[in-house]
């Protein structure tokens, strides 16, 4: 009682603390199997897990007695094997009792005759024998299991060819009774078959036995059931009058050979009466045929007989093939490469299908097969590889010869390309880039290239994808940013995927092509146009400009100069020069020292004069207006004033200029020295009395010879010695009126002088600056003027004797010094 209470308490505790601990469920699906010569085993479904130690007991009894209980093992609570062998033909009642701490329960009882639950042992010693009389049968024999003495059996017999994987079944009604042999019919000749057999109780109660061990046998040979596939190839490099023809054929498959093929017999018929027979063990035969039409026949022979003949027409040399198949297409299906076409309208004897792997690395080695003339859909029966491009050719064969072949490309199974396209730039613009790439080699395509994808991005931008049709080999990327690095990669896609090629980078330029030219050229043109317009404006308005810029110089021609030199011829003896001066153009008054030089002809001197006159017209008249040579030296005091304007104004109204016409320009000796005395009250410069102090700049002379001015400079450099016969004059303002060529000459000369006379640099420097100032216009006039003044002061400071130097002409007149 105490034990009972303890158990109850334990069970209650377990039940309350653990949800999953439950009493056993009623066992279900109880069933038993009686393995022949072994004890009976029963199985059941124990139901949910109890998480308690649960005992399952298999109980069994007859009507007249009980048998010992069978307790299930703990690790297999769903089955139990009885200790005794079951007795057939006696009904037994079986049930299962499940028990644990929480209770017990009994399954439904089942009542059966053990013979109805028997699983016999399989038949053994299965043997197979062939029959020489019939090549389509095999005889099976076996030994039945011992249970055959207790019951009647039925059988299941299966067979297959040796290389097949699926079994064929002998009709059950043929093996529904107890037997120990059976003859299998309708087998293929010369074929090895494998058999197996099993048995069970005839009425279908119980279980099938296991399969017996397999046994095999070969049916006897029969005549080849079909003619071999037959085709030919003609070597294009045929010799004169003959053509080597290679006849090829396929070995018959075993199910058509029906035995071991001993040899093949080839017959060539040129004319109806001309035969050539060949017996060949190989599957090819090369013969030299004439250009005539031939009929070739082929038969295969085995131990039993000969196959039907395969006939092939080898047309004459001038035969023209025609009538190809139509709508040829190839497609993969069920791991086979199928070829389909539409038959020509003409009657076709057969079709020849040839195929080879397209590759850039290896030549196309064709394989072939033959199909009947009624076929328009077949698959290639070769060892095809995946991811390889096959070139498939279908040739219809007519009675008079082969028709035109048709080809198509196909893949057994496509894959992604093994390499991606290599993209490069063909042209890069500011905002666009033309990319180009090569078609992938067929060896790496692994399928039909359906499209390309171009991915491009900047260093920090998002990637942009562009799909391009597979027929293209270049593409233009537009809307790019200038002066930007772009990264491009490209993928080629087949139906099965894509593969990217190597990355490629390019940089867009900052300016588009011609953009710089488009900017610079118009600017230059505008500048030139502006300049030209300015020049034209200046040219057109030169009078106005002159009026505003140039000084209003009194016309010396309207002045009256008294003839004061008794040695001077009369004025009217001036001849043409007189006229020249009287025309009013001779606006400047210059002091010209005429240098006697017999070497220079007079006409040139006139030219110089004319040129000189022009120069004077075109420049601001800045000649000193102070004439006088050494011989013109006067004791009249010179007026020097630091106030230019004032002095200018004063002198303009009071000073008369003397004019000396220089006829010895450029080393030309004037015929006559003319001296005119001005009636001007302008005091003569001091330099006229001391010509050695004059600093003269000649902007004209650039001759190589030793010029008096050069001598002057030298002398001036020596400071104190002045030769009387060395003429010198000072015309600083006229320098500016000389053309640039002359100025360059002068500079050259100046440089040479500077080199040779370093001590004369001061004068040269002054000269340069003056000249430069003159050349660059009035804007620099003041500077020049100031510079001259400085020089003057410097000369004074150095203790040089004071002299009157020609002054810069200011607007409105000369400023005497």
Partner 1 sequence: MQVQLIRRTLLGLVLGLLLLSTVAMGSCSGKYQVLLGQLQQQAKIMQNTDMLLDPYIRIQGLDKLNHKEYCKERPGAFPGKDALRGLSRWGFLQTLNATLGLVLHRLAAFQQKVCNLTKDKDQDWKTLCQAELYIRGIRNNIFCLTRLLNLNGSSEVFAPTWAGPRTLPWPTPSPGAFNRKIDGCKFLQGYHRFMHSVGQVLGEWEEGPSRTRRHSPFWAPQGRAGRTRPSRRAKRPMPRGLLPP
779 Cβ neighbours under 8 A, 6+ residues apart: none
30 versus 380: smaller Cβ distance to partner 1? 30
144 versus 299: smaller Cβ distance to partner 1? 144
Output the smallest distance, CB 4 to partner 1, in A.
Answer: 29
92 versus 491: smaller Cβ distance to partner 1? 92
Please choose, out of 84-92, 402-410, 579-587, 633-641, the segment that lies near partner 1 by the rule CB under 8 A.
84-92
Output the smallest distance, CB 95 to partner 1, in A.
Answer: 11
Output the smallest distance, CB 97 to partner 1, in A.
Answer: 17
Window 87 to 146, contacts with partner 1 (CB under 8 A): 87-93, 109, 111, 113, 115
Output the smallest distance, CB 124 to partner 1, in A.
Answer: 18
Contact present, 252 and 263 (Cβ < 8 Å): no
Tokens of 584: 């009013």
Output the smallest distance, CB 142 to partner 1, in A.
Answer: 21
642 Cβ neighbours under 8 A, 6+ residues apart: none
Output the smallest distance, CB 65 to partner 1, in A.
Answer: 6
Please choose, out of 147-155, 262-270, 610-618, 665-673, the segment that lies near partner 1 by the rule CB under 8 A.
147-155
d(CA 38, CA 57): 20
∠ Cα 538 544 547 (to 5°): 125
Please choose, out of 85-93, 237-245, 478-486, 638-646, the segment that lies near partner 1 by the rule CB under 8 A.
85-93
Distances (CA, A) of 714 to 353, 403, 759, 791, 804: 113, 114, 9, 18, 21
Please choose, out of 1-9, 80-88, 547-555, 614-622, the segment that lies near partner 1 by the rule CB under 8 A.
80-88
497 DSSP β-pair partners: 494
107 versus 722: smaller Cβ distance to partner 1? 107
Output the smallest distance, CB 62 to partner 1, in A.
Answer: 5
51 versus 84: smaller Cβ distance to partner 1? 84
85 versus 758: smaller Cβ distance to partner 1? 85
Q: How many CA atoms lie within 13 A of 441 on its CB side?
A: 8
7 versus 124: smaller Cβ distance to partner 1? 124
150 versus 319: smaller Cβ distance to partner 1? 150
Window 47 to 76, contacts with partner 1 (CB under 8 A): 61-65
70 versus 626: smaller Cβ distance to partner 1? 70
Output the smallest distance, CB 115 to partner 1, in A.
Answer: 8
Q: Based on the shown chain and the rule CB under 8 A, indicate whether residue 32 belongs to the binding site for partner 1.
A: no
Tokens of 671: 């015929």
Output the smallest distance, CB 44 to partner 1, in A.
Answer: 19
Q: Using CB under 8 A as the criterion, what x/- string covers residues 150-169 for binding partner 1?
A: xx------------------
Output the smallest distance, CB 184 to partner 1, in A.
Answer: 32
542 Cβ neighbours under 8 A, 6+ residues apart: none
Tokens of 96: 């299962």
Q: Where are the beta strands (DSSP E) in 133-262?
A: 138-143, 153-161, 168-169, 181-184, 192-201, 215-218, 230-234, 242-249
d(CA 201, CA 178): 9
Q: Could you say which of 29, 85, 127, 422 contacts partner 1 (CB under 8 A)? A: 85
First-to-last C-alpha distance (Å) of the chain: 161
Window 580 to 619, contacts with partner 1 (CB under 8 A): none
Tokens of 320: 């023209």
Residues that bind partner 1 (rule: CB under 8 A) add up to a total of 21
Output the smallest distance, CB 64 to partner 1, in A.
Answer: 4
113 versus 213: smaller Cβ distance to partner 1? 113
Residue 330: which of 445, 448, 471 has the closest Cα? 448
d(CA 29, CA 315): 78
Residue 272: Cβ-neighbour burial (10 angstroms; 0-12, 13-18, 19+): exposed
d(CA 183, CA 159): 12
Contact present, 216 and 162 (Cβ < 8 Å): yes
DSSP 3-state of 260:
coil
39 versus 681: smaller Cβ distance to partner 1? 39
67 versus 208: smaller Cβ distance to partner 1? 67
Q: Could you say which of 149, 166, 237, 471 contacts partner 1 (CB under 8 A)? A: 149
Output the smallest distance, CB 89 to partner 1, in A.
Answer: 4
141 Cβ neighbours under 8 A, 6+ residues apart: 125, 126, 127, 129, 180, 181
Q: How many residues does the chain have?
A: 817
Q: Which residues bind partner 1 (CB under 8 A)?
A: 61-65, 84-85, 87-93, 109, 111, 113, 115, 149-151
């Amino acid at each position: 009682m105490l034990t009972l209470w303890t158990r109850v308490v334990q069970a209650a505790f377990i039940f309350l603390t653990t949800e999953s601990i439950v009493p056993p469920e009623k066992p279900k699906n109880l069933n038993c199997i009686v393995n022949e010569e072994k004890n009976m085993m029963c199985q059941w479904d124990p139901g949910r897990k109890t998480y308690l130690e649960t005992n399952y007991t298999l109980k069994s009894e007859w009507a007249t007695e009980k048998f010992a209980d069978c307790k299930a093992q703990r690790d297999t609570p769903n089955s139990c094997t009885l200790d005794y062998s079951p007795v057939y033909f006696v009904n037994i009642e079986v049930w299962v009792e499940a028990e644990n701490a929480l209770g017990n329960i009994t399954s439904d009882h089942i009542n059966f005759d053990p013979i109805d639950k028997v699983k016999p042992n399989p038949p053994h010693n299965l043997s197979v024998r062939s029959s020489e009389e019939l090549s389509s049968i095999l005889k099976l024999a076996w030994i039945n299991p011992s249970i055959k003495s207790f019951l009647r059996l039925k059988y299941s017999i299966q067979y297959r060819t040796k290389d097949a994987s699926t079994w064929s079944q002998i009709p059950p009604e043929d093996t529904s009774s107890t037997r120990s042999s059976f003859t299998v019919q309708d087998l293929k000749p010369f074929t090895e078959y494998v058999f197996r057999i099993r048995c069970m109780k005839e009425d279908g109660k119980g279980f099938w036995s296991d399969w017996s061990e397999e046994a095999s046998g070969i049916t006897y040979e029969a005549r080849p059931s079909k003619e071999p596939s037959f085709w030919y190839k003609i070597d294009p490099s045929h010799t004169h009058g003959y053509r080597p023809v290679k006849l090829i054929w396929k070995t018959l498959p075993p199910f058509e050979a029906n035995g071991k093929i001993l040899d093949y017999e080839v017959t060539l018929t040129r004319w109806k009466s001309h035969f050539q027979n060949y017996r060949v063990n190989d599957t090819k035969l090369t013969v030299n045929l004439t250009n005539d039409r031939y009929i070739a026949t082929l038969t295969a022979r085995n131990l039993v007989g000969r196959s039907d003949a395969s006939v092939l027409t080898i047309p004459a040399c001038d035969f023209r093939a025609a009538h190809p198949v139509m709508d040829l297409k190839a497609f993969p299906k069920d791991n086979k490469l199928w070829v389909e076409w539409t038959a020509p309208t003409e009657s076709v004897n057969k079709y020849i299908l040839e195929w080879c792997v397209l590759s850039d690395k290896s030549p196309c080695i064709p394989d072939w097969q033959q199909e009947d003339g009624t076929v328009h859909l077949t698959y290639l029966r070769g060892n095809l590889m995946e991811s390889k491009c096959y070139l498939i050719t279908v040739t219809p064969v007519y009675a008079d010869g082969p028709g035109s072949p048709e080809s198509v490309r196909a893949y057994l199974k496509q894959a992604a390309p093994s390499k991606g396209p290599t993209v490069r730039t063909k042209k890069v613009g500011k905002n666009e880039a033309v990319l180009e790439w090569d078609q992938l080699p067929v060896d790496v395509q692994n399928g039909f290239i359906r499209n390309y994808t171009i991915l491009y991005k900047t260093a920090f931008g998002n990637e942009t994808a562009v799909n391009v049709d597979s027929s293209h080999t270049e593409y233009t990327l537009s809307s790019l940013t200038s002066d930007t690095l772009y990264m491009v990669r490209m993928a080629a896609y087949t139906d099965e995927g894509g593969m990217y090629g190597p990355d490629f980078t390019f940089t867009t330029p900052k300016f588009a092509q011609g953009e710089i030219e488009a900017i610079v050229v118009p600017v230059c043109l505008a500048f030139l146009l502006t300049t030209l317009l300015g020049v034209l404006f200046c040219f057109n308005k030169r009078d106005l400009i002159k009026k505003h810029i140039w000084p209003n110089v009194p016309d010396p021609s309207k002045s009256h100069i008294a003839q004061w030199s008794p040695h001077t011829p009369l004025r009217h003896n001036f001849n043409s020069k007189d006229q020249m001066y009287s025309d009013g153009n001779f606006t400047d008054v210059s002091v010209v020292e005429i240098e006697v030089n017999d070497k220079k002809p007079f006409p040139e001197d006139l030219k110089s004069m004319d040129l000189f006159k022009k120069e004077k017209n075109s420049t601001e008249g800045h000649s000193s207006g102070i004439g006088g040579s050494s011989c013109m030296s006067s004791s009249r005091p010179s007026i020097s004033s630091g106030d230019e304007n004032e002095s200018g104004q004063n002198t303009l109204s009071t000073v008369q200029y003397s004019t000396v016409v220089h006829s010895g320009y450029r080393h030309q000796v004037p015929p006559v020295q003319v001296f005119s005395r001005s009636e001007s009250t302008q005091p003569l410069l001091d330099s006229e009395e001391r010509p050695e102090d004059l600093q003269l700049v000649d902007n004209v002379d650039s001759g190589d010879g030793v010029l008096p001015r050069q001598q002057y400079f030298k002398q001036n450099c020596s400071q104190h010695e002045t030769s009387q016969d060395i003429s010198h004059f000072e015309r600083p303002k006229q320098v500016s009126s000389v053309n640039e060529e002359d100025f360059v000459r002068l500079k050259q000369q100046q440089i040479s002088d500077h080199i040779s006379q370093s001590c004369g640099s001061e004068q040269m420097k002054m000269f340069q600056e003056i000249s430069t100032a003159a050349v660059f216009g009035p804007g620099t006039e003041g500077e020049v003027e100031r510079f001259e003044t400085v020089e003057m002061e410097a000369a004074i400071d150095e203790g040089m004797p004071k002299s009157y130097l020609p002054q810069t002409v200011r607007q409105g007149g000369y400023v005497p010094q």
